[in-house]
Structure 1
Amino acid sequence: MKKDYKINTIFFAVGIGIFSFLVIRFGIVKLIKEIAQIGLWFIPIIIVWMVIYCMNTLAWKKIIGNHLNVNFFQLVSLKISSFALNYITPVIALGGEPWKVMNIKRLIGIERASSSVILYDLMHILSHFFFWTFTLFLIFFTVKPTLATYIVLGVVFIFLISLILIIYNWYKKGIVFSFINFLNKIPFLKKLAANLAKQGETLEEIERQIVEFYKTRRKDFYASLAYEFFARIIGSIEFFLIMQAIQIDINLFEAIY
């Protein structure tokens, strides 16, 4: 507990430091001016993001399992803080994902904490691919494409379907050991791969839980996917509101694609 508290403090201090640097670099006066320009539209945009975070959390909770007594509001706070860490760190998910694992492991154990975060990240990516596929159909039925556009849309569609099938394969067969094998092929990451491989039993349990989620909890799988997919749809409302704030007239369908 004492070690976790120290790590949390370090994460918090680093986060505050980077955030302060970004605010100062952008300019406090300029930041206030930009927010003022959005005006009252700022409030519904915040509400939209709160709904999105709640849906993200519901998706994560489905992955963890409703039978485990994990407080929803605690998960929401972890979700928001982890996204904040991901946004302010220079590398995607550099701090947010370990942060979630570190804080949730006390409630559900390190293996389930790790597998739930990996499963959620895969679900988050998968929902984006489904969302982009959905937007292709919207473009197809609401816009009059040229022949060249049809060809481009067809190529993008095949590419997205291929990525969706790859992720489904990871759910069916696991991703942990495949990822370690991938790291082992990169010269400067071989040492990291070797250190990870030493955690054999823990990694096997994490892999088992990843595969088990898709094979034995299909209802929770698709419920989690639905929450994430509709969170992407709701996210389009933010773009719609921003366009309204700067007086650019678009409809909701146009905001989606």
Structure 2
Amino acid sequence: MKEKFRNIFWFFGIFAIVVMLCTFDMDYQELWHNLRKAGYWLPAVVLLWVFIYFLNTCSWYAIIRDGKHARVPFWKVYKFTVSGFALNYATPVGLMGGEPYRIMELTPYVGASKATSSVILYVMMHIFSHFCFWLFSVVLYIMIEPVNMAMGLLLAVVGVCCLIAIYFFMKGYRKGMAVRTLKLLCHIPLIRKWAQHFILEKNDVLERVDKQIAELHGQRRSTFYLSLGLEFLARIIGCIEVFFILNILTTDVSFVSCVLIMAFTSLFANLFFFSPMQLGAREGGFALATGGLAISSAFGVYTGLITRVRELIWIVIGVLLMKFGNGTEKIKRNGEIDRH
């Protein structure tokens, strides 16, 4: 990526961090008191995400490799993963900063079409794993918790929506989604002309991207399920964060309850996808989820606070990583990399 484009992403990340710090909805003295209460659990929560991002990177790396030797080093993909998520956390509507950044960083290694298709595939896999996780949590709730009529209706709606989403994702994997997505954008007033122009200008590239997307599910099933499995595992491991935080306040909580809390919270927060860092929605989701499982709602608010601090720490790390390890790469014909 050209340095001027990288600097644009970097300055955007710095601006987002400053805005978040200035709009933190808590007195800083109270915040410090709550962080001190967390003790060694806060570093444990932060370090847990080293492993979660490792799983995310492995999922994306499996797609990039295409069953062959990858031209891009694994540590570079890890760096792009962390920085990409940092930009997504800070961006309203999500997926508006991190994905272009990843594509532009990966392009010098594998080319524009491969970089685009691998990022699109990974984003699809990341979102797809959300629906699999929510559907799994619906089944888990029915197995271990009493279900009244109101809760049964809610679980039925969530379950049906997840099944419909999974069906459309599988259909998209079989036939590709790039061209279809752009055609849908052609019906949106503000970006209709841009989408139409982009389809006409980049039609060959889009068709090549769709072909690569379809190949992952059709010809490389093992890579498809490996990538999906790693993303799903990352979501289960992410529930340990809730378990760690709640153990600051009480020992009367099971890991299974933490899975249900995380599932409901992520579902609730994603309904407010237009908010940067899902401000307010995440905390509200934790409060409602813990209350629904007969755990104090105050515990949920505290969990949301510590989670928000962890996110902010990793946003800072991701933004800083954008300025390191950015040597100029030149791909040789034999697939090796020259560094200058």
Q: TM-score range by the shorter chain?
A: over 0.9
User: 1:92 maps to which residue?
Assistant: 94
**Which residues in structure 2 correspond to 1:53-202 (within 5 Å)?**
53-65=53-65, 66-67=67-68, 68-197=70-199, 198-202=201-205
Question: 1:24 is aligned with what amino acid?
Answer: C
Normalised TM-score (structure 2): 0.71
Q: Which amino acid aligns with 2:203?
A: G
State the Cα RMSD in Å. 1.7
Q: Residue 252 in 1 paired to residue 255 in 2?
A: yes
Q: What per-residue deviation string (whole Å, max 9, x for no partner) do you get for residues 33-72 of structure 1?
A: 4432322101211122111100000000111124123211
Separation in 1, partners of 2:92, 2:163: 30
In structure 2, what residue type is equivalent to 1:209?
A: Q
Q: How many pairs align? A: 255
User: Quick one: percent identity of the two aligned structures?
Assistant: 35
Q: Where in structure 1 do 4 or more consecutive aligned residues deviate above 4 Å?
A: 27-31
Moved more, 126-135 or 19-28: 19-28
Corresponding letter in the other structure for 2:257? E
Distance 1:151 1:99, change over 3 A: same
Q: Which residue of 1 aligns with 2:211?
A: 208
Tell me the equivalent position of 2:220.
217
In 1, Cα distance between the equivalents of 2:102 and 2:11?
17
Residue 181 to residue 29, structure 1, CA distance change in 2 (3 Å): same
In structure 2, the CA distance between the partners of 1:69 and 1:31, relative to structure 1 (3 Å rule), is farther
- The TM-score normalised by the length of structure 1 is 0.93
2: CA distance between counterparts of 1:166 and 1:18? 34
Moved more, 196-205 or 103-112: 196-205
Report the residue type matching 2:40 in the other structure.
L
State the match for 2:48 in structure 1: 48
Unaligned runs of 5+ in 1: none
State how far apart, in whole Å, the 1-side matches of 2:29 and 2:93 are: 27
Q: Distance in 2 between matches of 1:34 and 1:199?
A: 52
Matched, 1:39 2:31: no
For the pair 1:235 / 2:233, whether they are aligned, the reply is no
Tell me how far 1:150 sits from its aligned partner: 3.1
Q: 1:133 Cα shift?
A: 1.0
For residue 120 of structure 1, give the secondary structure of its aligned residue in structure 2.
Answer: helix
- Flag the 1:213–1:15 CA change in 2: closer, same or farther, 3 A: same
Q: Which amino acid aligns with 2:226?
A: A
Alpha-carbon spacing, 1:28–1:85, altered in 2? closer, same or farther (3 Å): farther
CA deviation after TM superposition for structure 1 residue 148, in Å: 4.2
In terms of fraction of residues, the more helix-rich structure is 1
Partner of 2:93, secondary structure, is coil
